Amino acid sequence: MDAANGGRIPVLDPATGEVISEVPRGGAADIDRAVNAARRAFESRLLLEITPAARVELMFEIASQLEKLADEIALVEMRDNGKTLQNGYNEVALTQRYLKYYGGMADKLEGRQIPLGGDILDYTIHMPYGVSAQIVPWNGPLPVGARSVACALITGNTVVLKSPEDSPLSLFLFAEACERAGVPKGAVNIVCGYGKEAGAALVSHHDIDHIVFTGSVETGKSVLRAAAERVIPCVMELGGKSAGIVYADADLHLTARNAAKGIFTHSGQICSAASRLLVHRSIHDQLVEKLKAEAGIRTIGPGVEGRDMGPVISEKQLSRIEALCKAGVEEGATVVSGGRRLDRAGYFMPPTIFTGVTPQMRIANEEFFGPVLVVIPFDTPEEAVRIANGTDYGLAAGIFTRDLRLAHWTADRLVAGQVYVNDWWVGGVETPFGGAKRSGYGREKGQEALLGYVQTKNVGIRY
């Protein structure tokens, strides 16, 4: 459907910088129409009046419709997001897992019966909020969007989702899958538009009841200000500057491999990327050599060529990463790999490693959201934990050691929503994910996520 004012947003292929498509530039009028549709769908109670078992079937049907669109989705993820074709297919599979995982919970959301004695029956109900406003970033729009939609629908909420302006295409196909699966009209509404137009109009709309925001801390703050005006709850999934701590007894080969995976996957454009590595001084030089080798073996190129690393999303993002690298050099850090864009069309940043970094430097505190690793030496576990916890963020953290006692000691002290030991991204659809401190609050993924989409209603009955 076109935007009310006819506006369009060009969609670029980050591997070439060329315009490959355009999408409607939704604005306040489109958001208003979408929220009204979601409100009508919510008030109709259609989702609440079909049985929980039917909601299970509905989620499974969306997953099965996605299967039929998998080739198209993989292709658009490659073209508008810079992923490889294989990663595009992986995104479809991950999204199906979310739909089936949450679908499978639709008939297991049980309340409690609270004994009050006498002639009273007391019980609780999971009550949906109503219209859930959801804002999604560009790095993984399909799974990030679909998991929130699934949580909302199985709990009886309806949704208005603003898709990311830089990589909007896969969520259009998700909308198609929802429609083909028979999701009730108005229950899922996807509007594409710029953050300052459609995004701001959505979070400040007078008729939304709930917000799920995934994006940067700065934008998150403005979303929270809008939510405060209307006292509505938010799930906030914000940025990160996650540290891996490498103790002297770690398996260095395995550590280098996993740390490189943690920062160079999807060119570092993952909120929980392993962007800082804190390394015991006794193994620092040895590990840096292995990290350089890991950076060196990675091939870089457009997703269509199936290389290890694709482009970053935009010229703006590439310039930001380069500028922060420059600041690192000016602050006295040393580039041992990469450090500046590749001299070719598209937005390619090579795997970059900084050494000689101190915890006070900007590059040790600010999120690159690119393939840039900063390595910081430490001497004692207490110092490592202090540095790891020393930024504004608290999304993820890692520990590399053979000593389980030390791993537990460290995990207990790290302020992060998830801690990985001897690997990066240990977990899955089933494990709760979210931040501490400025990385946000509330949880996505796992059973915990559902608690963010319902409020408890207590019903007390005197016979």
Residue type for 331, please?
E
> Could you say which of 264, 369, 425, 453 contacts ligand NAD (CB under 6 A)?
369
Q: Which residue's structure tokens are 């922060």?
A: 324
Least Cα distance to 448 among 418, 409, 420, 414 occurs for 418
Per rule CB under 6 A, count of chain residues that contact ligand NAD: 28
Task: Considering the complex, state which of residue 288 and residue 395 has its C-beta at the smaller distance from ligand NAD.
Answer: 395
Helices H / strands E in the chain, number of each: 15, 19
Under the criterion CB under 6 A, does residue 367 sit at the interface with ligand NAD? yes
CA–CA separation, 394 and 413 (whole Å):
12
Task: Considering the complex, state which of residue 160 and residue 283 has its C-beta at the smaller distance from ligand NAD.
Answer: 160
State the distance between the two ends of the chain, measured CA to CA, in whole angstroms.
53
At 260, list the tokens: 């490189």
Q: What are residue 354's phi and psi, to 5 degrees?
A: -110, 135
CA–CA separation, 240 and 445 (whole Å):
17
Q: Which residues, other chains included, contact 407 with Cβ-Cβ below 8 Å and sequence gap of 6+?
A: 399, 401, 421, 422
Task: Considering the complex, state which of residue 5 and residue 51 has its C-beta at the smaller distance from ligand NAD.
Answer: 5
Provide the minimum distance between the beta carbon of 418 and ligand NAD in the complex, in angstroms, as a whole number.
11
Letters for 405-434 (x = contact with ligand NAD by CB under 6 A, - = none) are: ------------------------------
Letters for 377-406 (x = contact with ligand NAD by CB under 6 A, - = none) are: ------------------x-----------
Provide the minimum distance between the beta carbon of 112 and ligand NAD in the complex, in angstroms, as a whole number.
30
Under the criterion CB under 6 A, does residue 271 sit at the interface with ligand NAD? yes
CA–CA separation, 148 and 214 (whole Å):
10
> Could you say which of 142, 181, 203, 211 contacts ligand NAD (CB under 6 A)?
203
Task: Considering the complex, state which of residue 395 and residue 454 has its C-beta at the smaller distance from ligand NAD.
Answer: 395
Task: Considering the complex, state which of residue 168 and residue 351 has its C-beta at the smaller distance from ligand NAD.
Answer: 168
> Could you say which of 88, 215, 302, 311 contacts ligand NAD (CB under 6 A)?
215
> Could you say which of 124, 222, 358, 365 contacts ligand NAD (CB under 6 A)?
222
Task: Considering the complex, state which of residue 58 and residue 203 has its C-beta at the smaller distance from ligand NAD.
Answer: 203
Give the residue nearest to ligand NAD (CB).
195
> Could you say which of 237, 294, 322, 366 contacts ligand NAD (CB under 6 A)?
237
CA dihedral 226→229→232→235, nearest 10 degrees, is 30
Task: Considering the complex, state which of residue 155 and residue 272 has its C-beta at the smaller distance from ligand NAD.
Answer: 272
243-281 in b/e burial notation, b at 16+ Cβ within 10 A? bbbbbeebebeebbbbbbebbbbbbbbbbbbbbbbbbbe
Active site residue 165: no
Task: Considering the complex, state which of residue 103 and residue 239 has its C-beta at the smaller distance from ligand NAD.
Answer: 239
Task: Considering the complex, state which of residue 64 and residue 431 has its C-beta at the smaller distance from ligand NAD.
Answer: 431
Active site residue 271: yes
CA–CA separation, 39 and 298 (whole Å):
49
Q: In 10 A of CB 197, how many CB atoms? A: 20
Provide the minimum distance between the beta carbon of 193 and ligand NAD in the complex, in angstroms, as a whole number.
8
Under the criterion CB under 6 A, does residue 449 sit at the interface with ligand NAD? no
Measure Cα distances from 234 to 79, 278, 380, 447 in Å: 32, 33, 38, 17
> Could you say which of 239, 302, 338, 394 contacts ligand NAD (CB under 6 A)?
239
Provide the minimum distance between the beta carbon of 38 and ligand NAD in the complex, in angstroms, as a whole number.
17
Under the criterion CB under 6 A, does residue 238 sit at the interface with ligand NAD? yes
CA–CA separation, 302 and 15 (whole Å):
5
Under the criterion CB under 6 A, does residue 365 sit at the interface with ligand NAD? no
* Contact call for residues 313 and 139 (beta carbons, < 8 A): yes
CA–CA separation, 319 and 298 (whole Å):
22
Provide the minimum distance between the beta carbon of 54 and ligand NAD in the complex, in angstroms, as a whole number.
30
The sheet with strand 158-163 has its strands ordered as 188-192, 158-163, 131-135, 210-214, 234-237, 440-441
Q: Which residues from 100-159 bind ligand NAD, rule CB under 6 A?
A: 135-139
* Contact call for residues 73 and 83 (beta carbons, < 8 A): no
At 57, list the tokens: 């079937």
DSSP-H helix ranges across 83-216 = 85-103, 141-154, 169-181, 200-203
Letters for 181-200 (x = contact with ligand NAD by CB under 6 A, - = none) are: --------------xx--xx
> Could you say which of 134, 158, 189, 214 contacts ligand NAD (CB under 6 A)?
214
Letters for 160-179 (x = contact with ligand NAD by CB under 6 A, - = none) are: --x-xx--------------
Q: Which of 192, 271, 322, 366 is catalytic?
A: 271
Which stretches of the chain bind ligand NAD, using CB under 6 A?
135-139, 162, 164-165, 195-196, 199-200, 203, 214-216, 219, 222-223, 237-240, 271, 367, 369, 395, 435
Catalytic residue annotation: 237, 271
